[in-house]
Amino acid sequence: MAQVCLLDSDRLSLLLKDAISWSSHVSSVMVSSSNGSILAYAYRDATPSIKRMRTQSTTMTAAYTVASEDVLVFEAQNMGATSVIAPIADHVLLAVTGPEPKLANGETISEGSSHNREEEEDEEEEEDSEAQQQIRTDLEVVSQELAHILRGELSTLKWPDDI
């Protein structure tokens, strides 16, 4: 009789926590099934409530299921953060998520002519665009590296269909 192997949850947790340190732009990593069930997760900051994690998982897996992309770059409306979602096995998805957009800090643009304010706003938009592109690039790199590692781990497992 063939042996059924299970992924070591402690090893998976350590791997996900380690992956967060690969880039300062990664705020969370989640492995979930395509029905939204959370299989493993790691967060850079405090772990959110289970309700918020379920919302995040369900939102991302639903978006991936609807999309016809192999790897999906997705901005969740409920949190505004960019995520890269990639398959790592049949019905198992990896989501690498960046930071949520920062809220306005209450500072106002210095008084001056409307022309100066428009120039400042254009410069800020350009800086934001460059920063967002760097975040996306970092998330894609971490996602690719972590997906490769996880696929290797999962390829050694025996699934019930193989028994």
Averaged pLDDT score across all residues of the chain: 80
d(CA 117, CA 122): 9
Could you read off the pLDDT of 71-127 as tens digits, one per residue?
A: 999 887 767 889 999 999 888 899 999 988 765 443 333 334 445 556 555 566 666
Tell me the domain boundaries of the chain.
9-102+114-162
What ranges in the chain are assigned the alpha helix state H? Answer: 9-20, 50-66, 114-155
- 37 or 153, higher pLDDT: 37
| Predicted pLDDT of residue 160 | 60
d(CA 43, CA 45): 5
Please say whether the beta carbons of 72 and 64 come within 8 A: yes
How far apart are the two ends of the chain, measured CA to CA in Å?
A: 7
Single-letter amino acid, residue 137: T
Name the band, by pLDDT with cuts 50, 70 and 90, for residue 12. confident
| Fold observed for domain 9-102+114-162 | Beta-Lactamase (3.30.450)
pTM score: 0.76
Helices 114-155, 9-20: axis angle to 10 degrees equals 150
Q: How many helices (H) and strands (E) does the chain have?
A: 3, 5
Report the 10 Å Cβ neighbour count for 154: 15
At residue 10, φ and ψ (nearest 5 deg) are -65, -45
